[in-house]
Structure 1
Amino acid sequence: MTSWTSTAIALLEADANRSADTHLHVFPLPGEWGIDLYLKDESVHPTGSLKHRLARSLILYGLVNGLIHEGTALVESSSGSTAVSEAYFARMLGLPFVTVVPRSTSQEKIDLIEFYGGRCHFVDSPSEMAPEAARLASECGGHYLDQFTYAERATDWRGNNNIADSVFSQLAQERHPIPTWIVVGAGTGGTSATFGRYVRYRRHDTRVAVVDPEGSAFHGGWSNGDPTFATGIGSRIEGIGRPQVEPSFVPGVIDEMIAVPDAASIAAMRLLKDRTLHWAGGSTGTNLFGAFELIARMRDAGETGSVVTLICDSGRRYLDTYYSDDWVTAQGWDLAPHRARMERFLGGGAWN
């Protein structure tokens, strides 16, 4: 291992060490239920999202496998939070970073990637992103980080940078320290793979549920046992949902999948803000809605326990979209029935 690689790994480890662990917030539920709901707040990472962990893991994976060296250009196919976080780490290591994005990408996202020193390479269609990223990396002798392939293997589910280990450590002094359910969404599938493997490795009696937005292929692929399943439709809930099942999605470690309407995701995201003052994005709303469904089953069955889900990113990124009534109306979403359902449930009423 070269001295540069050793220094690069030390820099990544120092970034993790100086960042206090993300908080585990309690969502208020009726006390008589005997059920606790926790939200792990990944929005407080330096780059503002859960993808901060993924980006660090992807780059560390490239370093320890001899794929990234001094001067290696890093390439990705992402217009969202993953690219933002990868740009942050590339700048830290003094490496060039380019991400392939659709021409329709908002200027706000482009500006954030460029703020951290990244460069955007534009293509006409989302379907062109991955092939173009692979071509760019090959032509310049760079490394294609390829989040959708490497997410599940880049994170060591037994140790390094492990969100699952963090959650269980933080729950150690709670009244239900071993959660009944972990609820996450799937973008690459890396987070659900980490939790699913970890609970099996530690022999915890915890089940993992994955929530999926409209148009995503993960739910259909899991239900049908078809790793080639595709919808060809992009997700309107940023950060989760894919038009095809991705290589990093590991169905064998998932106990249940829940399809969540997009309008329900946004209604839940807004309810979270009103009840806790936590501003979060749409994928957090998807998580919360799925968590409510599982909690309702537990309550109705007379079960007690805890449920954990994630705040994936900050709502500040969505003031002109998910938090805009005009924008929501333009999508054809009616949030009112979903909001009424959740309010009825939290007041002690039926979920279904």
Structure 2
Amino acid sequence: MSTASDYEPAMQAAVRAILRAAQNLDAAEKDAVRRVTDPNSALEALDAMEAHLGATAARDANGSRRAMIDIGAARSDLLAYQLARQRAMLGHLTESLTRLRATTSVADLADCIPIHSVELGYERALFSWIRDERWIPHAMHTLNGPSEAHAVVDAGTRAPRHTRELLEVDVVRGRRTILVLDAMTNPRVHRELHDVTQSQTYVAAPIIARNHVVGLLHLDRNADTGTTDEFDRDLLTLFSQSVGAQLDQLLLQESVGPATAVGTVDSSWTDVLTEREAEVLQLVARGLTNAQIAERLFIGEETTKTHMRKLLRKLGAANRSEAGAMYHRLAARRLPAPSL
């Protein structure tokens, strides 16, 4: 397993190599050292130095050769460190997922998600629900103690923000994990939360259950590097997908009992409707207009009308009120709607 003690010598070797290369070139590239804060930035600086050395090798062949050797050694150390770190974190992933699968209720899972996220090798993790397109923090775990966790959750729940106003709209709309590298300056971060966390970088992933983004998971500060990068984004993607699968399983267990025999038309609305049509039907049953459904599902109003016509035809319903009634009748017998 890689540790902070592995990380520091590799970083120190990289900084020394950058300094020697900059000195050999007698150039302003010494400033690159100030930008080295993690293995990725160190590798970028080493690449830049190597390019400059290749372009100016004729000035001092021996000095350039020595600097090239130093750069190669530093790069090897950093890559070896990163590989060891990633393998260790993948091991943590397996352990955390095993613990998550032991949860027995949705409430238990929601409370445990931040704890097991931090166990992957991070300093802070926040789990939030998405309800009516608003980001509502639920639970946070941080190595800095419970007071920070409470402050973050309180800051987010006092005035829940609409995801359309934030970077997280890409997480909800695109159902993808994002890596934010400019959290200190980006105007679309959740300002109330950021005022507490002072995060420089973070990753955010969707929690998908019943084919809806029902929650968000944020990780901040890899415990080894002090930042987050592409590997952290990919790791969180794997973790959040497994969380969604466990949430689906628990929702199934907590749902209404086994199905009963019903007529041909409503033997199961999932049998006759596409996933999108089922989503539209669910929102119709809640009383939403076509315009509201379009906004909720991030689709056009005309597209919503098309889905509405198709689902009415498939269900044999005369109008949206009848379709909504059919939905509620079936939901009372079978599984609840495909969202929280």
TM over 0.5, yes or no?
A: no
Greater relative contact order structure (CA < 8 Å, 6+ sep): 1
TM-score w.r.t. length of structure 2: 0.27
> Which structure has the greater CA radius of gyration?
2
Structure that is richer in helix per residue? 2
